């Protein structure tokens, strides 16, 4: 793949930055929603809103036929790429900050490269292997002071929150390779819509079973509306477009920018603090991920 970073095409660059801004905001909105709805209902409502938003658009564009052909794979992808990760992050944000969760999310490309190595036989060179090792060291450094498995006053554990974030990133890595292998050539809107329908179906019963006894506030509802329409519906169309134009591993590099937006939103709207240790560990993770994706080679091209 020849990715010319010196003279990027403007549409690609705009979509890339917009996607990072939207997904960065998703941590803020999930935090606000999960505090009142709980983890699983937050994830279930998010994907349901996204599905309702995307389905009329897909039908209006006459793209039902490819959905009818690939529906099994697309619905399965929905749980792998949306249902499980969204539930994991909603759970994690009950006990850790949006900044920390977004930094852990930056390991997505690293897991994507690892999955592509094992599954797609995309064997990494020495620099990529070194990058994977550096990235995992960065994760260990970041999690070391946070991974306490003792419950706090609210009964939550930051350690399990870190584990949940890493489980979500692994799912994203698996989903990227699954999309590349089984859904190549399927329109991005079809994949985005069908995957949200699949996630909504998979989370329907847990969402109803764990629905909060007290009616959540208008703020919580608006947060889930925003995360469903903007950070999921619109964002996944952009994401699958990037996979089609850039490739699975390259498109995952959008996670480099997500922590920038997520940390900024957390500081501005939630009063969260950013420590020097978080920044150091984040830099280690990003450097390792850059090596694992061979970004230096892209730079030289």
Rounded-to-5 percentages of helix, strand, coil across the chain: 80, 0, 20
Angstrom distances, CA of residue 218 to CA of 30, 222, 223, 260, 284: 14, 6, 8, 28, 39
**Is 162 among the domain residues?**
yes
Reading the chain (301 residues) residue by residue, the pLDDT tens digits are 344 444 444 456 788 889 989 999 999 999 999 999 999 999 999 999 999 999 999 999 999 999 999 999 999 999 999 999 999 999 999 988 898 898 888 888 778 888 888 888 877 677 777 877 888 788 778 766 655 556 665 556 678 898 999 999 999 999 989 998 999 889 989 999 999 999 999 999 999 999 999 999 999 999 999 999 999 999 988 887 887 777 666 676 777 778 888 988 999 999 998 888 888 888 888 787 777 666 555 444 4
Residues 149, 103: Cα–Cα separation, whole Å: 20
**Is 3 among the domain residues?**
no
Of 164, 153, 151, whose CA–CA distance to 84 is shortest? 164
**Is 4 among the domain residues?**
no
pTM of the model: 0.84
Give the range of the structural domain holding residue 219, as residue numbers without chain letter: 10-300
Query: Which sign, positive or negative, has the C-alpha torsion 277, 91, 176, 184?
Result: negative
Helix locations, the chain, DSSP H: 10-37, 39-60, 64-78, 84-92, 98-105, 108-119, 126-144, 158-182, 188-209, 218-228, 235-246, 248-251, 258-270, 276-292, 295-300
Helix locations, 38-157, DSSP H: 39-60, 64-78, 84-92, 98-105, 108-119, 126-144
Residues 191, 69: Cα–Cα separation, whole Å: 12
Residues 227, 25: Cα–Cα separation, whole Å: 8
Residues 294, 288: Cα–Cα separation, whole Å: 10
Angle at 111 between CA 295 and CA 75, to 5 degrees: 115
Block residue for tokens 């929905």? 78
**Is 252 among the domain residues?**
yes
**Is 229 among the domain residues?**
yes
How many domains is the chain built from? 1
**Is 84 among the domain residues?**
yes
**Is 45 among the domain residues?**
yes
Residues 174, 111: Cα–Cα separation, whole Å: 8
**Is 34 among the domain residues?**
yes
Output the six-digit token pair for 274: 């950013």
């Amino acid at each position: 793949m020849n990715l010319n970073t010196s003279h990027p095409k403007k549409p690609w660059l705009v979509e890339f930055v917009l996607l990072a801004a939207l997904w960065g905001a998703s941590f803020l909105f999930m935090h606000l929603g999960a505090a009142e709805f709980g983890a699983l209902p937050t994830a279930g409502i998010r994907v349901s809103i996204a599905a309702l938003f995307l389905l009329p658009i897909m039908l209006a564009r006459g793209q039902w036929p490819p959905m009818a052909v690939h529906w099994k794979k697309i619905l399965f992808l929905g749980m792998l790429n949306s249902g499980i990760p969204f539930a994991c992050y909603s759970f994690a944000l009950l006990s850790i900050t949006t900044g920390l969760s977004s930094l852990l999310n930056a390991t997505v490309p690293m897991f994507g490269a690892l999955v592509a190595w094992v599954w797609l036989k995309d064997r990494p060179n020495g620099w990529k292997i070194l990058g994977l090792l550096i990235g995992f060291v960065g994760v260990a450094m970041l999690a070391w002071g946070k991974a306490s498995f003792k419950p706090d006053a609210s009964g939550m554990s930051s350690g399990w929150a870190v584990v949940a974030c890493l489980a979500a990133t692994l799912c994203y890595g698996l989903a990227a390779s699954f999309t590349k292998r089984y859904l190549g050539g399927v329109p991005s809107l079809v994949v985005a819509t069908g995957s949200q329908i699949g996630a909504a179906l998979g989370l329907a019963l847990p969402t109803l079973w764990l629905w909060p006894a007290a009616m959540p506030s208008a703020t919580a509802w608006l947060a889930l509306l925003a995360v469903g329409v903007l950070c999921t519906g619109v964002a996944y169309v952009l994401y699958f477009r990037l996979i089609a134009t850039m490739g699975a591993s390259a498109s995952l590099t959008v996670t480099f920018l997500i922590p920038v937006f997520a940390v900024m939103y957390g500081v501005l709207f939630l009063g969260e603090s950013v420590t020097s240790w978080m920044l150091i560990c984040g830099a280690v993770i990003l450097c390792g991920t850059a090596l694992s994706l061979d970004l230096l080679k892209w730079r030289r091209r």
